[in-house]
Every structure is written in structure tokens, then in C-alpha cells.
Amino acid sequence: MKKALSVCAVMFIAYAAFVWKFPEDRPRGQSQSQQNRIVLERFLAGESPVEIVFVGTSLTTKLLVERSQLRDCAYNLAIDGGSVLTGLRAIKLSERRPKTVMVETNFPNRPADEAILRSTSSRLLRYAPFLRTENVPVNRALSYAYRVLHGDRPPTERPLVEAALKEQQRWLAKTVAPQVLSARTAELVRLVTELEASGTQVVFYEMPVAPSLTHSAAFEQTRAQMKAAFAPNRFIKSMELTGDEPVATTDGVHLSALTAAAVLNRFPVRCDEAKQARYAI
């Protein structure tokens, strides 16, 4: 029994040393939930750039910051299938203060994910990286396999699914319950005010969607709500991020890989400026 425990202890220490010595650049999880945990754990552990932080929903996760010219100064804290509030709450929990926070405004009605914030903000994860989701042995193997198979190639382009577009049109034709939107906006105002009080510049942006969805009832409602709540702040319109280029999506709201890369390059942020001083956007 003692021998078995000794062997387990040695293997445990060896794996911890391996994880510390060879961190994974682009970790992969086995599910959307695990990928969200990886994103949060990395930020909360203080192991990500902090000059510029993007917070948003699955729309913003399509912006592959780690593959762009912003990789040395920016971090994408967007939550797939989640809320912009989760990212903002994570910034508050981390006590890290970005110079600029870019806030997506497309779906401000979603609540913060309290459960994932509790489980990823443990100090133990900060000081024991081998316990993080990205370092689960299966996930390390998955990350390695993905890197070998795909390398630095951009994600495969996926065609538009017409049925998904029609489903988005149906859902976005409905407005959000006013009391829900007001409650979420009030929390957003509070978090943004706290960030700005600490010296962080907050910039709002609307992710581009399929032209047929741009003026849907839900988007028009939230657009008006955000501008009323944050009138003094700088808003980046979706058309500023697309220019005259067509908007290609996979389902109406999630950008294709090529369009997402072009959109990211149009954000008015640059690493050399971000590392010197705050932006005046």
C-alpha cells in the first residue's frame, strides 16, 4: 500500500512539474463549459495579457485574439453561450485592471453565470496550475492533438445554415422583457462605473450580424437601451467593423472565420499604444 502511494505521489509531482515547465499555448476543452472554464481560469490566475480585454457572448468568442496582431496585449474573456456580465464580474474578482475593456452590446439581457465564477475563482487554481481544467490529462492530450492536426491554420470556413438563420430571425423578432433588460442594464452600469473609477477605459461595440437581423426588434431595443444608459461612452457601430465588406455568418449571428478575422483587424486598438497609455477612442 505504501509503495503504491509513493508511486502515485511521484507521478503526481512529475505531472505537476511537466505542466509548469510546458504550459499549453492554446488549450482545448472537451465541451463548451470546459472551454469557458479555461478562459476564466487563465484570466483569474493572472496569466493573460491585461492591457485590452474583450468581454461578451459567443459572438465575441469568434474573434481569435490569440491569432491576431493583438495577441501580446489583449485577451478575449468572452463566454460562449454566456453573458457579458460574467466577464465583467471576472475582471472585478481578479483585481486586475485593464487599460481598456471592450464590451459587446448585442445581448446584454443575459445574467452572469454565478456557478462558473465561483468554481474558477479559487486561489488554489492560481497557485496550482496542474489542477486547472486545461491541465486535465485528457484535455492536454486533446490540445496537443489539435495543434498537430491543425497547426496555425485558420479555422475551417463553415457555410451558412439557412434553417439556423430563420430560427434567429424568429427569436430576434421578439423584444426582451423590459424588467429583465432594465435589471441587467443596472448591473452593467454598476460594473462599468467601478471599472472607470479605477482608471479603466470602457468602450462599447456591437458585433456585426447578418444584414437581415441588424434591425430586428430585439437588437433595436437593446441598442436604444445601451445608448441611453451609456451616452457619454464611445460606441463602435457594427458597420464600422465591417466597412463595405459583406458579412458572412454561420447562423445569422456568429461570424464566419474569415469575416471574424477582418472584423478584429478593424477594432481601433493596437498593442504598441495599449502598452504605453490609455486609448482616447
Amino acid 275: pLDDT: 66
pTM of the model: 0.89
Grid cell, residue 168, equals 434567429
pLDDT digits (tens, 9 = 90+) for 56-81: 999 999 999 988 889 889 999 999 99
Q: What domains sit in the chain, N to C, each tagged with a CATH number?
A: 23-271 (3.40.50.1110)
Pick the closest to residue 238 from 218, 216, 267, 212 (CA basis).
Answer: 267
Confidence of residue 7 (pLDDT cuts 50, 70, 90): low
Grid cell, residue 182, equals 432594465
The dihedrals phi and psi of 49, each to the nearest 5 degrees, come to: -60, 150
- Separation of alpha carbons 89 and 113, rounded Å: 9
Strands (E), 158-279: 201-205, 235-236
What secondary structure does DSSP assign to 113-181, as a single string? -HHHHHHH--HHHHH-GGGSGGGSHHHHHHHHHHHHHHTTPPPPP----HHHHHHHHHHHTSPPPHHHH
pLDDT digits (tens, 9 = 90+) for 137-174: 787 777 777 777 776 666 666 777 888 899 999 999 99
**Helix (H, G, I), strand (E, B), or coil: what is residue 107?**
coil
